Structures are given as structure tokens and as C-alpha cells.
Amino acid sequence: MEYRKLLGTDLTVSAVGFGVWTVGTTWWGVKDEGMGKALLREAFDLGVTFFDNADTYASGRAEELQREALADVRDQIVIGTKFGYDIYNHPERAGQQERPHDWSPQHLRRALEGSLKRLGTDRIDYYQLHNPRMDAIAPGTALADDLWAELDKAKAEGLIRAYGTALGPALNERQIEEGIASVRDRRAPTQIIYNLLEQLLGGQILPVAEEVGVGMIARVPHASGLLEGYMSLDTEFEPGDHRNWRMTTNARRKAWMEDGLKKVEQLQDAVIEGKGRTIGQLALQFALRSPAMASALPNIYSSDGLREYASTFDAAPLTDEEFDAIQSLYRANFGLTHDLRGQVVAQ
């Protein structure tokens, strides 16, 4: 395992982290709590020290699950969790639909107290605004300034060690502005969707993070399964899988899979076949390429996958030439002439 500084903080995290949502919710992944706790423990045994959670995951149950699995090694891990959605007055919605946000200092304190209790700890190492918009980030507005001032107070009290933003929920162009404001104006480490097929945010935000010395975290480094190596056009997602909801229709889901698998096919000869690494390991190496990127959070729902990702740094490293080849393919839309919306891509 490799360990990196989360720039702008005093935290050091494992470069491969664990997004606890895959074992703490029923959106997609592990639904047996015993297996989920076993995977969390195995991850720690394999060198994973960064565990990323949120109070909205199963309305807090994911945080309790993490405590049950890792309480005895609390001082050897870095706990990230998130706040902002009002889980106390609004029940969980189907398909990962957003609940109302509450960015008041009062809600922050209530959320923080709840997470500390569920996680069984006296401090949160990395506390993140969960899918904020600009009104909760931009300096100069009362809503944002009061919120960030309260975060400073909580940090001074020792209840949190560092804070930042986690942008989402789905990939959206507006997150470019949100991410740049987070890292440049707030000097706040930021979590984004970033992978070699989806570089919209990383292409704009990572250079700013590198310039100002603020850390980043990559979410969805395997493009929702496309870069894990198992998917085909015959792959079916089980009921409740959030990818069914995200694609809204069977036609949309099929188009997403066809588009992604054609791109993966282009990668096969260039940087996968016979290179001494799996496509899953390549995806993590790519996501972690920037010196500002502290950790990547693969979707972990099996021991085999966990072991594959944890051994990423034992595999053949991604070379400069291979990185350039990937970027050439990306700029050319991997040889495809249309994007997912059916629009013609400029050649």
C-alpha cells in the first residue's frame, strides 16, 4: 500500500481508500452486514487506513457498521464522513434521491454529534460537506460564511481535524465551479468523480489543486463498473442497484454500457493487454496520477476485488507513455463519433 498526505491538512491516508457506502447501504453492493464488516476488517489488514462514510448512508447505520468493525483500531485509521442532508426530519428516498440540505451551524452541530456517537469516536478526521452547491461554498454569503466559521470552531475544539467538500451527487458541469471555489477560495480538500473515462472535473479542478497545494480524493475511479473488467452488454443490475435508477430507462442504460465498453476495448491493446496489471489496477493508477490526489475510493463488495485494488502498487506502474496514450484516446473520444446524447463529436 502507498500512503499520501492529504495536502492542506495534517492527515496521511492510504492511496486506496474504502467507500463505506458499498457495505453500509443497499444501493449497490454488499447487503449482508456480517460480510460488510469482514470486508472492512480485511481492508485494514491489507493496509487500507482511509474509510470514507456519510451520515446519510442508511441514515447513519453505515457509520455504526464501521464502528463495529474497526473500533479497536480507531487510532490507526483516518475517518472521513459527511454532513449536510437533513436525515433527522426527512426519511431516506428511493434511488439515492437527495434529501433537503441544512447548512445552518445548528444542523452542523447536530450532525457532528450524531456521527461522533455512531462512529464511536471523539473526533472526525475529515469532515465533508455532502454534495454542496455554491451557496454553501462561496465566501461572502451569510449562509456559507456562518457554516465555515462553525467548522473552524469545531476544529479548534478538537472535534474535527480537517474539513472539505464532497461534490455530487452525479457528475455535473456545475461542480467545476464548486470544486475550484472549494480548493482556491476555501483551501478545502475536495472529493470528486474522476476516472479515465470521466475527466470533466479533474481536468479543470486538479490543476488548481496542484497550484494552491490542496488535496483531492477520487470517487468512482472505475466508472461505475465499466473499468472493473467484468461488465458486458449482457450484464444485468439487480433490483435496487442505483445504476438502474441513474440510467432512468433501459435504452439509456444500454447506451451507457455500449459507449463505455467500446472505450474499454480501445484501452485493451494500448495499456491493458500483457502489461502486468488488471484494468481495475490501471484505473486506480490513473486516478492517482496527480500529486494533489491523495486517495481513490473504489467500489468494494468482494474479497477478490479488495485484494486486487489493495495490490495496485505491486502491479506494473502506469508509465508516462501509457498515460499520454490514454489522454490521446480520451481527447479523441476513444474513436467514437457520438457522445451519450447522440450528438456528433468534433473530429
Is 218 in contact with 195 (CB distance < 8 Å)?
Answer: yes
Is 176 in contact with 167 (CB distance < 8 Å)?
Answer: no
Return mean pLDDT, the chain. 92
**Start-end of H helices in 157-278:** 174-180, 202-212, 242-247, 250-267
Whether the pLDDT of residue 82 is over 50: the answer is yes
User: What is the band of 295 on the pLDDT scale with cuts at 50, 70, 90?
Assistant: very high
Structure confidence by residue, pLDDT tens digits, 239-288? 666 666 555 567 777 888 899 999 999 998 888 888 999 999 999 999 99
Whether the pLDDT of residue 344 is over 50: the answer is no
Question: Can you tell me which residue has the cell 458486458?
Answer: 232
Is 342 in contact with 78 (CB distance < 8 Å)?
Answer: no
Whether the pLDDT of residue 338 is over 70: the answer is no
Question: What integer pLDDT is reported at residue 345 of this predicted model?
Answer: 42
Question: What integer pLDDT is reported at residue 346 of this predicted model?
Answer: 40
Q: Which three cell numbers stand for residue 156?
A: 479548534
Structure confidence by residue, pLDDT tens digits, 211-233? 999 999 999 999 999 999 888 88
Q: What average pLDDT does this structure show over 5-27?
A: 94
Whether the pLDDT of residue 342 is over 60: the answer is no
Q: What average pLDDT does this structure show over 292-311?
A: 97
Which pTM was predicted?
0.94
Hey, what amino acid is at 119? L
φ, ψ of residue 82 in degrees (nearest 5): -135, 160
Is 157 in contact with 111 (CB distance < 8 Å)?
Answer: no
Whether the pLDDT of residue 143 is over 70: the answer is yes
Which residue in 218, 307, 301, 152 sits closest to 13, CA to CA? Answer: 218
Question: What integer pLDDT is reported at residue 23 of this predicted model?
Answer: 94
Hey, what amino acid is at 74? R
Structure confidence by residue, pLDDT tens digits, 170-212? 999 999 999 999 999 999 999 999 999 999 999 999 999 999 9
Lowest mean per-residue pLDDT among 87-96, 150-159, 271-280, 291-300: 87-96
